[in-house]
């Protein structure tokens, strides 16, 4: 879609594509042919170097890093149990004992927010990875072999895409019946993954369609290389950049979808701490206890922001032509 203006380009495009990463555009413009110096560098080293130059990407990495630490060490970091209620301390205002206050069951909000990181990150990352592991091979096979397989796979993907995504995710969750604990989390992960599979299948199919016409693939075929080897050693590495970017930004989207499902009461069920659920449960008491729904909401926002910044930086670093 953005290709409409492609043939009109006259000068080499600057390194950063769009968005916030453009802060460094001025420095780039001063150098006549930045690409020339980079040409000899390995693609990975190049990407890392560009990533390190982008402040926003580094902020994203830092946020994601802190969240990972919080999720892993939640048991150590949380001052109290996130699920033990204490009827003598309900609706406590933020204080030294309860830095973020307590909810209607007297549960420590800080501990719930800290433990909520686990659910959010777990669902966000694993649903996207699950979608990736199913969607990428489907897209590769559809694009590489074409014909009937292609039609079949892409029709099914189109069907999933024809749904407004929240509607499908909601229906899937009602079908799976939301529950608490790890099983409940896995159900949410599955529902979000199903909704996201077509995104990867389409993306990869598109890349494969152009890559398979390249001379180096023809050379492989002429040498008698088997199809799976061609697909995984030669085709896949060449469409990796958009996959990585989509995955990082996809985690942000998945976290929002998870929070939304929880908000509607269809995510991981209580007592398992979940930001979306906590936000929803505390909206009922918003008049007198405004801070209660504020903290889970801020946690969702920060997490999503972290992955978005990181994803944006990655996109600029990995492939300047990507939008």
Partner 1 sequence: MRVYVLRRVLQIVPTVLMITLVVFVMMRSIPGDPVVALLGDAYTEEDAVTVRAAYGLDRPVLVQYVIWLGKLVQGDWGASILSGRPVLQDVLIRLPVTLELIVLSMGVALAIAIPAAIIGALRQNTWADYTATTVAMIGVSIPEFFIGVLLLLIFSIGLGGLLPSSGWVYLPGTCPTMVCGVSLWGNVQHVLLPAIALGVGRAAILTRLLRASMLEVIRTEYVTTARAKGLGERPVVFKHALKNALIPTITVMGLQVGFLIGGAIVVETLFAMPGLGTFGIDAIIARDYQQVQGFALLTAVVFVVINLVVDLLYTFLDPRIRYA
Q: Which residue has the tokens 């495009």?
A: 13
- Least Cβ distance, residue 261 to partner 1 (angstroms): 10
Considering only residues 246-265, where is the footprint of partner 1 by CB under 8 A?
Answer: 252, 256, 259-260, 263-265
**From candidates 64, 121, 193, 304, binder to partner 1 by CB under 8 A:** 304
Minimum separation from the CB atom of position 157 to partner 1 (A): 13
Task: Using CB under 8 A, pick the residue from 167, 182, 183, 284 that binds partner 1.
Answer: 167
Site pattern 34..73 for partner 1 (x: CB under 8 A): ----------------------x-----------------
Contact between 147 and partner 1 by CB under 8 A: the answer reads no
Q: Which stretch binds partner 1 (CB under 8 A): 79-87, 93-101, 109-117, 168-176?
A: 168-176
- Based on CB atoms, which residue is closest to partner 1, 92 or 278? 278
In Å, the largest CA–CA distance within the chain is: 77
Q: Evaluate whether 103 touches 281 at the Cβ level (below 8 Å).
A: yes
Query: CB of residue 251 vs partner 1: minimum separation in angstroms?
Result: 12
107-146 positions binding partner 1, by CB under 8 A: none
Interface with partner 1 in residues 209-248 (CB under 8 A): none
- Shortest distance in whole angstroms from residue 87 CB to partner 1: 26
Stretch that binds partner 1, among 128-136, 186-194, 231-239, 284-292 (CB under 8 A): 284-292
CB closer to partner 1, 195 vs 230: 195
Q: Interface with partner 1 by CB under 8 A: which residues? A: 1-2, 4-5, 8-11, 17-20, 22-23, 25-26, 56, 159, 162-167, 169-172, 174-175, 177, 252, 256, 259-260, 263-265, 276, 279-280, 283, 286-287, 290, 293-294, 297, 300-301, 304-305, 308-309, 312, 323
């Amino acid at each position: 879609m953005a290709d409409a203006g492609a043939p009109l380009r006259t000068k080499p495009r600057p390194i950063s594509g769009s968005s916030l990463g453009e802060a460094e555009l001025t420095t780039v413009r001063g150098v006549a042919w930045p690409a020339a110096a980079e040409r000899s560098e390995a693609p990975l080293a190049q990407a890392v170097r560009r990533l390190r130059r982008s402040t926003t990407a580094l902020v994203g990495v830092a946020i994601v890093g802190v969240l990972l630490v919080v999720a892993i060490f939640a048991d150590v970091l949380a001052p109290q149990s996130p699920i033990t209620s204490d009827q003598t301390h309900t609706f406590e205002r933020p204080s030294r004992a309860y830095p973020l206050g307590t909810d209607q069951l007297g549960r420590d909000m800080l501990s719930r927010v800290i433990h909520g990181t686990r659910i959010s990150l777990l669902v966000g990352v694993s649903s996207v990875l699950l979608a990736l592991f199913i969607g990428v091979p489907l897209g590769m096979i559809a694009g590489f072999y074409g014909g009937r397989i292609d039609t079949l796979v892409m029709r099914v993907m189109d069907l999933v895409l024809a749904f407004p995504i929240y509607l499908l995710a909601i229906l899937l969750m009602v079908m799976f019946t939301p529950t608490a604990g790890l099983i409940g989390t896995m159900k949410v992960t599955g529902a979000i993954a199903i909704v996201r599979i077509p995104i990867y299948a389409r993306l990869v199919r598109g890349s494969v369609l152009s890559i398979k016409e390249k001379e180096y693939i023809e050379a492989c075929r002429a040498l008698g290389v088997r199809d799976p080897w061609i697909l995984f050693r030669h085709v896949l590495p060449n469409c990796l950049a958009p996959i990585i970017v989509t995955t990082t930004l996809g985690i942000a989207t998945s976290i929002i979808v998870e929070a939304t499902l929880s908000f509607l009461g269809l995510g991981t069920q209580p007592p398992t701490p979940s930001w979306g659920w906590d936000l929803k449960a505390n909206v009922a008491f918003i008049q007198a206890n405004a801070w209660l729904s504020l903290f889970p909401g801020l946690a969702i926002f920060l997490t999503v922001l972290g992955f978005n910044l990181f994803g944006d930086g990655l996109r600029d670093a990995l492939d300047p032509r990507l939008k």
